[in-house]
Structure 1
Amino acid sequence: MQAFTRASIAILATIMACLGTASAQPADFGCTSAPSPAQTRTLTCQGGVTIVVENEAQFTLLDRDRNGRVDGISLLSKAVFVSAPKQKSGRQFQVITPQAIAAVRGTEWAVDAEGAKTSVFVQTGRVGVRRVAAGRGVVLGPGEGVDVDATTTPLQVRQWGAPRIAALMARLGR
């Protein structure tokens, strides 16, 4: 029974860590946090990574290669805007949501995880997007976006219109 209790506590701790908010993040990833427009927070991280987080976003910073620097985000809800320079190691910065994985080398893009859908929009550069479960991915260029849900239909790259871009960027104070 005691082992069950320890396991339950460990699972609960893991879940709680994944439910971080824009106001509380681990300091050991070399990031500083400051308020920014539209009640967002801007995280400025080592290696030139900048992350703008929508108010009340549920996310966790990731250090997948355990080098002490942020190299990804687990995003459960709301939106983030990421500016990530090309990594010398070739490692791709990733934003992982329940529906999608968006990976990039040197670009600026936004990811919005709302309910059962994730939307990814690229401002500059190129971003690869695929479903978490499996399937073929797509590559987005500037001005393009994709909506990812739990279905198995092929992902469709679309040119986003100015109103949709403006609405998402306004939520991120951009």
Structure 2
Amino acid sequence: MSVRGRYFRSLVAAVFAGVFWVDAALAQSGEAGCRFEPVEGRQILRCQQGLTIIVEGGASFTLEDRDRNGNADAVRLRRKALLIEAPAGGVQGGFVVVTPQAIAAVRGTKWAIDAGQGKTSVFVIRGRVAVQRPVSSAGVVLAPGEGVDVERGTGALTVKRWPAKRVSALMARFGQ
């Protein structure tokens, strides 16, 4: 198995290890090492270890502390989008986002993930992100400027370079 394959499998496997649920409202009071900062129609979630999550207004998600060390290392995203910046080495074991259609895992990067209407879209700004369906061991690794749309089903995931218009529309949702 390639190094990339082992990296991907270890990050994805970690999401299923002991999960501790932290509601976003509790995170505001310091649970999971995070605090919210409201910013015009969205919130910025700043966590220990340098992790920053910009939350689109109306997003539905739950923070998780898989290794029970008091710091967020995963998110279950149900609706809308998050823009995540996870510095290399900041989150021990990497950072994972789980949606109904996809699992996306990283170690040091800046990327966006959008869940809704039967699909999850993942776009990478900096670094690399491994993406797979929850019921599949096959996945893809995205590089900067690449994205993937993960819909329900079992077909292969197709990595595409996203056009500037699509990237701009996504980033505008975060005030970027």
Find the structure with the greater CA-based Rg.
1
Q: How many residues align?
A: 154
Match of 1:133 among 135, 138, 147: 135
Matches within 5 A, 1:1-174: 24-26=25-27, 27-37=30-40, 39-87=41-89, 91-174=93-176
Mapped contact 2:49–2:91 kept (Cα < 8 A): no
Which ranges in structure 1 are unaligned for 5 or more consecutive residues? 1-16
Which ranges in structure 2 are unaligned for 5 or more consecutive residues? 1-20
- TM-score under structure 2 length normalisation: 0.82
Quote the offset at 1:90 in angstroms. 5.1
1:145/1:28 Cα in 2 relative to 1: closer, same or farther (>3 Å)?
A: same
1:88/1:166 Cα in 2 relative to 1: closer, same or farther (>3 Å)?
A: closer
Tell me how large the CA RMSD over aligned residues is: 1.7
1:148/1:157 Cα in 2 relative to 1: closer, same or farther (>3 Å)?
A: same
- Could you list the structure 1 runs, at least 4 aligned residues long, displaced by more than 2 angstroms after superposition: 24-27, 87-90
2:80 aligned partner, one-letter code: K
